[in-house]
Amino acid sequence: MGVWQKCAGKDLRARILQPGLMRYRSSAVVRVELGAAVSMAREISEQVLRPEAAAVDKEQRWPEKGMATLRSRLGGLVVPAEYGGMGHGLLAVAQVGEATGRACTSTSICFGMHLVGSAVIAAKASRRQREAYLDPIAAGEHLTTLALSEPGTGAEFWLPQTRMERVEGGRLRLTGSKSFVTNAGHADSYVVSTLAAGPGTPPGQFSCTVVDAAVPGLEWGSPWQGFGMRGNASRGLELRGAEIADWCLLGEEGDQIWYVFNIVAPYFLMAMAGTYLGVAAAALEEVRTHLLRRKGARAGRSAAEQPVVQHRLGTMWARVERTRRLIYHAAAEAEIGSPDALLGLASAKAEVAETAEATVNDALTLVGGVGYGEQSPLHRLLRDARAAHVMSPVTDLLRVWTGRALLDEPLLEG
């Protein structure tokens, strides 16, 4: 049984087409070893992402420079090696996400969504889809992303209402609304979830397609004006009868539930978990650096020499480290198809959301007024960290899923 197999209620379970966990890592030889890929992500983060992070936040602009660098050097991270990619899976997504999240949360989320979208396209790619999407993604020339959430479905992103109708000439016509599309207006393609419509169409048949950015009928909403995550270009999308070739359908008609719970959910949770682990690690390092810098800089006993400060810093380190180990363990367990992988994947994002928020708050307390200033990195980190609870699946839902899985209950009711 796949890790998400037990997630569905009776009606949904029948639509998860294949048993067993998806092969998250290609069996072919990985062209760039994981350690080298993570080192590359750290280098890009320090040299490109970090210098731009404050401006990206302040100007609320999409991080074009950072994304171009990540796309060109690591864009094919999760594309199978036989398609020219690096052939990595969930653990790489988490570790690269931590590296980028330490430097710029917005850029990290933007790149994470590209990785999730790449994994979805690769899962059941046809020859034409490999040539049109995976080859350029692996070459660092194509950016993709997800367009799943909708205004009317809330947290239940797996139940789209965007209509997909078959029309003459082997075409598919898409009509509907999407919300909070990361990389909106900047990606080269979008993975879109749909509901089949038209005469004789079975009810509740959900499918996934890939839509090129240049397709007529895509209308973008207002620019993102967020409390945090200001650079992720999260915008609404109206599909006004947008027509695509039928070979842009991913897998078979009705496969969307399978994609969501076997590919989207695991990869998305690891992209989020890695990013917000990076936020927590950055806050911990910020306060540690501050305390070391102040040590000996003033007469009398410094804050670093106070037992209460030492105790709180030690507690912060332990919180971040145990969350890191949970995330990496969950990714590794999922890659080998462990029956307990669902528990770790669901808990990883829930835990890191609480860890990131608590760690930044503690850092603000220890740094004091300097950290509370608007120019402090902690100011940005706190606003970015709060979004971890809001991004679906939200923390409360993940806790419920974990409890239901432990009790052998279906995750989704109905």
Q: What is the pLDDT of residues 179-193, one digit of tens each?
A: 999 999 999 999 999
Average predicted confidence (pLDDT) for the chain? 90
| pLDDT (average), residues 20-25 | 40
**Is the per-residue pLDDT at 297 higher than 80?**
no
* Whole-number Cα distances in Å, 91 to 98, 112, 325: 11, 13, 11
Looking at per-residue pLDDT, the higher value among 6 and 159 belongs to 159
Instruction: Give me the pLDDT at residue 31, please.
Output: 61
What's the burial of 215, exposed, middle or buried (CB within 10 Å: 0-12/13-18/19+)? middle
Instruction: Give me the pLDDT at residue 137, please.
Output: 98
What's the CA gap between 273 and 193, in Å, rounded? 23
What's the CA gap between 38 and 190, in Å, rounded? 26
Instruction: Give me the pLDDT at residue 240, please.
Output: 97
Q: What is the pLDDT of residues 32-43, one digit of tens each?
A: 899 999 999 999
What's the CA gap between 29 and 85, in Å, rounded? 10
**Is the per-residue pLDDT at 208 higher than 60?**
yes
What's the CA gap between 128 and 408, in Å, rounded? 40
8 A C-beta contact, residue 106 and residue 57: yes
Q: What is the pLDDT of residues 100-146, one digit of tens each?
A: 999 999 999 999 999 999 999 999 999 999 999 999 999 999 999 99
The amino acid present at 305, given as its one-letter code, is E
What's the CA gap between 315 and 327, in Å, rounded? 19
3 state SS of 1: coil
